[in-house]
Chains A and B, each alone.
Chain A
Amino acid sequence: MNCKLSIPHEIIFEIFSWLPIKSLMRFKCVIKFCNSLVSGSDFSDTHRCRSSGGTKFFLHERESVFYSAEQKIEDGKDYLQIERCNSPASSWLDCVNDLFCIWGPSSAAIFNPSTREVRFLPNLSEDFSPLYYSLGFEPEENKYKVLLTTDHVQKGYRKHWVTTLGTDKSWRETKSSPRILGMPGVCINGVIYKFVRHECKTAIAAFDVKTEIFRFIALWNASDWWYYKLIEVNGQLAIIDYQIYVRGYVHLRVLEQTEEEEEEWESQIIHFPLIWKDIPEVILSCMSCDGEIFFMVNLASVKYPRSTYDEQRINRHSDRIRASTNNTKEPGSLPGSTDRDRK
């Protein structure tokens, strides 16, 4: 029996919220309450705020090579530690917040890298072949949903399905079915953005996670979309257009709201450090986090084919490049102004 003072659950919550993940996983078997505590969403939110560092970035190539990057502080210096993740062959991945959806040809699962928990998504009937899973987060109701695009090659159409994590046991079909392309999208403020073929052009489909309704956003130029990457910049949708990276810069286009309630793509240029200028095929992947844009670069691509480049070199050279505008050219050094500065 509890011979001395018994510690209220709210205090266990507070104490546990300061523990590292590995201890939390181990202490799940202390008592049943600890197990349910650690799995709860209130607890994960508090824990995420209180834990310093942690996996912040997840970089992925178009194929199945993933890297996680962890921001660490040691001796007052902060640096990024990048680790290669072993993923199952030919798997794909989509992420929002700290949660990942990972899938192969036959099954899909939600993966939480901090807790290393995996939950499988409902199965689909066999005649549908899954094309792409997109993970969405709806902040108002604090719900995660997965948008699945399936391909029906013989019949020549695509369908879309939604499931709510934690409540739904199956998939439900969406009302409309635009021709979403099987490329990574991005989820910003409860809206999943994906490339789509719409009225014979490439455009962006915006899927509202709450209402489950699609709307379409036109591109400034619908022909070179293969080199576009959707990212978030300060809560706005943006596209990195890196087909011309050989020349030492990329275009960043941010979808701005005009005063007439219309949307417009505003173009900016991000310059790369001069030391990268002679390296062909630089960018493997990019993503944004906390107002900064991160590029993963391949500095060994001259000698090595794409899939077997030297990982060590990447670890050493993955510099942070901050988004800078046209007028802050500083030859020989990293561009200085960040997205946050510009605000």
Chain B
Amino acid sequence: MASTTETKQKKMLILKSADNDEFEIEESVGVQSETIKNLVEDGFTFVPLPNVYTKALIKIIDYLKKHANKTDSNDEEIKTFDKDFVNTTFDDLFELVSAANYLHISCLMNMLCQTIADRIKDKSPEAVRKIFHINCDYTPEEEAKIRKANAQAFEGQFDESLD
């Protein structure tokens, strides 16, 4: 399994997802992740990722490959790629953000968090709870108090949709 490439070929890594699928990628692509980089520096070429599922890992490998080949000329192409990359459901975004956080890929992390922030910024608190799958832990009185203290932020209409 873990084989150190002594040849002049590109160094390769194997990533193993939480559902036990294995993916071979170039080391130079993988080390954009701080987590992978640290393991590589310790001599690992086989990287198990128990927190990252196959579906998210495939997308993240795509992202890393695209961004590893960043030059001045393909700037537009990468922008289009990024735009498509984040054009997905909230649940997918959350899965990706958890993976990016675990893998410590800061540019991806920032892009995903900015996208989510942008998509929730005009929503109501109720919609945000549903999107984040969290239950309100305030009593009605406590919530009313917070709303009253921040009354200005509740002026106007908010987006109740969940996408």
Contacts and interface: CB of A to CB of B under 8 A. Distances in A.
Contacts of A23: 117, 120-122, 153
A29 B137 CA distance: 9
A32 B117 contact: no
Interface in B104-161: 109, 113-114, 116-118, 120-122, 124-125, 128-129, 132-138, 143, 146-147, 150, 152-154, 158
B113 A18 contact: yes
5 contacts: A11-B98, A15-B120, A26-B154, A28-B150, A29-B146
B117 A15 contact: yes
Interface string B88-102: 000100110110010
Contacts of A26: 124-125, 150, 153-154, 158
For this complex, into which size category does the number of interface residues on chain B fall? Answer: 20 to 34
Interface stretch (A2-10, A183-191, A298-306): A2-10
Interface of A: 1-8, 10-12, 14-20, 22-32, 35, 116
A7 B135 contact: no
Interface of B: 91, 94-95, 97-98, 101, 109, 113-114, 116-118, 120-122, 124-125, 128-129, 132-138, 143, 146-147, 150, 152-154, 158
A29 B148 CA distance: 10
A15 B113 contact: yes
B150 A16 contact: no
Contacts of B118: 18
B121 A14 contact: no
Nearest to B119: A15
A16 B125 CA distance: 13
A11 B91 contact: no
A15 B121 contact: no
Given A7-B94, A11-B98, A116-B152, A27 B128 contact: yes
Nearest to A17: B113
A18 B129 contact: no
A28 B148 CA distance: 11
Contacts of B97: 11, 14-15
Nearest to A38: B150
A253 B101 CA distance: 49
A19 B118 CA distance: 7
A32 B120 CA distance: 18
Contact of A29 (B98, B109, B125): B125
B134 A2 contact: yes
Given A31-B137, A32-B138, A5 B101 contact: no
Contacts of B125: 26-27, 29-30
B150 A7 contact: no
Contacts of B133: 2-7
Most buried by B among A4, A19, A27, A30: A30
B117 A16 contact: yes
Contacts of A29: 125, 138, 143, 146-147, 150
Sorted nearest first, the 3 A-B pairs with minimum C-beta distance are A25-B153, A18-B117, A26-B153
Contacts of A116: 152
Contacts of B95: 5
A341 to B, nearest CB: 28
A23 B117 CA distance: 9
A8 B109 CA distance: 14
B80 to A, nearest CB: 21
Most buried by A among B101, B153, B154: B153
A153 B114 CA distance: 56
Contacts of B121: 19-20, 23
Contact of A11 (B101, B122, B124, B150): B101
B98 A5 contact: yes
Contacts of A10: 101
Most buried by B among A11, A14, A15, A35: A15
Contacts of B153: 22-26
Contacts of A3: 133
B132 A25 contact: no
A12 B132 contact: yes
B146 A28 contact: yes
Contacts of A12: 132
Nearest to A116: B152
